[in-house]
Amino acid sequence: MNVVDDEGRRVTLPATVSRVVSLVPSLTEAVGVTEPGLLVGATDWCTHPDDLDEHGVTRVRGTKNPDIETIVALRPDLVLANAEENKPEELEKLRDAGLAVYVTDIRTVDGALRSLERMLAACGLERPAWIDGARAAWDALPLPDAPRRAVVPIWRKPWMAVGSDTFTGAVLARLGVDNVLDDSPERYPRFDPADLPAHDLVVLPDEPYRFTADDGPEAFDAPSALVSGRLLTWYGPSLLDAARVLPGALAAAEERAAAR
């Protein structure tokens, strides 16, 4: 069976896919929630579903430095990857070892749901209910009358933030939040908090840097919203919770600031 991934690469698969290695936490969750018995390998950073280890899933190090030998030894029918999360040279090593590698490229909410549906189909799975639920939840969200302007730090020492052409920026745009660094030539630029464009909100996720109430908000004058990084940056079943939780988290930050 031949399928085409998001990069336009033809991927040859057996008639039945029964062993899958995922090199991306979001993709691991998508497969694990839909058909947990398929996964035989996942990265050390794959935390959802939370019963991966109980299902005997082997850990294969990180997204950037996967353990090629361990992955090959698992004899997967398919390896799942992502254009942003995984290094092309590492994926080429897997192809050179004779493994089928399917690469997703996800930049928007709607694009994520379409991409994941195609990826799951490559695994031999029908469209799961959580995709329909997430699509309906996002379509039902009303946009605020006036877009808010936000900065989205992802690291400090040095400070780095979400820049242009990112899934995170697309998620916020669907919530009526404009990323003030969206015109940056970089996807994750460095910045100085004192030199940011005008903004009325700071969105602080708990990953990859774990911002907390005591570590992050003090560097900015605008109100801060502490949010789950999984809901802000992951694509997959988490999108259903994201549509339900993120709007309230952003609104609560502004309400607290107005009440001061």
Indicate if 112 and 189 belong to the same structural domain: no
Q: How many angstroms separate the CA atoms of 257 and 260, rounded?
A: 5
Indicate if 113 and 191 belong to the same structural domain: no
Confidence band for 258, pLDDT divided at 50, 70 and 90: low
Res 260: pLDDT: 58
Res 257: pLDDT: 61
Tokens of 147: 């877009």
102, 127, 152 - which closes a domain? 127
In a domain, 132, yes or no: no
Q: How many angstroms separate the CA atoms of 139 and 204, rounded?
A: 25
In a domain, 136, yes or no: no
pTM: 0.93
> In 77-122, where does DSSP find H-type helix?
88-96, 109-122
- If one counts the domains in the chain, the total is 2
- Report the CATH number that the domain containing residue 220 is assigned in CATH: 3.40.50.1980
Summarised one tens digit per residue, pLDDT across range 110-168 is: 999 999 999 999 999 999 999 999 999 999 998 777 788 999 999 999 999 999 999 99
Which of 188, 239, 223, 208 shows the shortest CA–CA distance to 29? Answer: 239
Indicate if 82 and 121 belong to the same structural domain: yes
Which of 124, 134, 84 shows the shortest CA–CA distance to 100? Answer: 124
Summarised one tens digit per residue, pLDDT across range 19-75 is: 999 999 999 999 999 998 999 999 999 999 999 999 999 999 999 999 999 999 999
Q: CB within 8 A of 36, min separation 6: which ones?
A: 49, 51, 55
Q: Is the pLDDT of residue 254 over 80?
A: no
Indicate if 115 and 52 belong to the same structural domain: yes
Res 255: pLDDT: 73
Q: Is the pLDDT of residue 198 over 60?
A: yes
Q: Angle at the Cα of 93 (from 90 to 95), degrees rounded to 5?
A: 115
Place of tokens 């299902």: 55
Res 88: pLDDT: 98
Q: Look up the domain containing 175 and give its range.
A: 142-259
Query: Contact, 104 vs 6, CB < 8 A?
Result: yes
Q: CB within 8 A of 76, min separation 6: which ones?
A: 19, 20, 21, 40, 41, 99, 100
Summarised one tens digit per residue, pLDDT across range 217-240 is: 999 999 999 999 999 999 999 999
- Taking each continuous run of H as one helix and of E as one strand, the counts in the chain are 8, 13
Indicate if 109 and 6 belong to the same structural domain: yes
Res 259: pLDDT: 57
In a domain, 229, yes or no: yes
Indicate if 195 and 96 belong to the same structural domain: no
In a domain, 172, yes or no: yes
Indicate if 8 and 119 belong to the same structural domain: yes
Per the DSSP assignment, residues forming a β-bridge with 3 are: 11
Q: How many angstroms separate the CA atoms of 114 and 119, rounded?
A: 9
Res 46: pLDDT: 97
In a domain, 215, yes or no: yes
Res 164: pLDDT: 96
Give the amino acid at 52. L
In a domain, 134, yes or no: no
Indicate if 162 and 117 belong to the same structural domain: no
Which of 190, 260, 172 shows the shortest CA–CA distance to 221? Answer: 260
Q: How many angstroms separate the CA atoms of 48 and 25, rounded?
A: 7
Tokens of 196: 């940011």
In a domain, 135, yes or no: no
- With b for 16 or more beta-carbon neighbours within 10 A and e for fewer, the 219-247 pattern comes to ebebbbbbbbbbbbbbbbbbbbebbeebb
Which of 9, 17, 6 shows the shortest CA–CA distance to 40? Answer: 17
Indicate if 74 and 165 belong to the same structural domain: no
Res 141: pLDDT: 93
